[in-house]
Amino acid sequence: MKSQLSTRLEAHGIRPTAIRLLVLDALGTDGRAYSLSELEAKLSTVDKSSVFRALTLFSANALVHCIEDSRGQTRYAPCHDECRCHEGTGDMADFHPHFECERCARVWCLRSEHLPVVELPEGFRPRFASYVVKGLCPQCKAHRRLPKRPL
């Protein structure tokens, strides 16, 4: 039986190995962008350098895109079908913004949004653009409203 995960890897020219399948599975489909340490925590049985190597390969083969969070950590997010962030068309509308929660520090892709197009001077070509909206995620927002527990 061929899993959906192997099909996704093969569609990007990546040979499915047990570790690559585990890493891709850990990246999930819920629109989160994970830091290396978050992924390592989810993949405690996998050697850390193998996780990093798989992510580097995924990024080089347009299966994930990388963004930097406000702590300067790289975060990896699986590219979705409409993601053209690797195509280098030079079109700012190919990039989507991200959301960073200031309380739990988790990051999400805002996949259905497009970055505002910035007109660049003649001769300049964009490779990547990052737009991060900061605030509270639904969980942290709800948690914040809870009354303090009595001692």
> Which value, in Å, is the radius of gyration of the alpha carbons in the chain?
17
Query: Within its chain, how far is the Cα of 65 from the centroid?
Result: 6
Q: What is the per-residue binding string for Zn ion in 2-41, x denoting contact by CB under 5 A?
A: ----------------------------------------
- Cβ proximity to Zn ion: between 20 and 58 the closer is 58
Count other C-beta atoms under 10 Å from residue 68's C-beta. 13
Look at the block and give the residue holding tokens 């001769």. Answer: 123
Give every CB contact of residue 11 below 8 A, 6+ residues apart in sequence: none
Q: At residue 69, what are phi and psi to the nearest 5 degrees?
A: -85, 180
- Binders of Zn ion in range 111-150 (CB under 5 A): 137, 140
Query: Considering the complex, what minimum distance in angstroms separates the CB of residue 21 from Zn ion?
Result: 20
- Binders of Zn ion in range 53-112 (CB under 5 A): 65, 77, 79, 83, 85, 101, 103-104, 109
Contacting residues toward Zn ion, per CB under 5 A: 65, 77, 79, 83, 85, 101, 103-104, 109, 137, 140
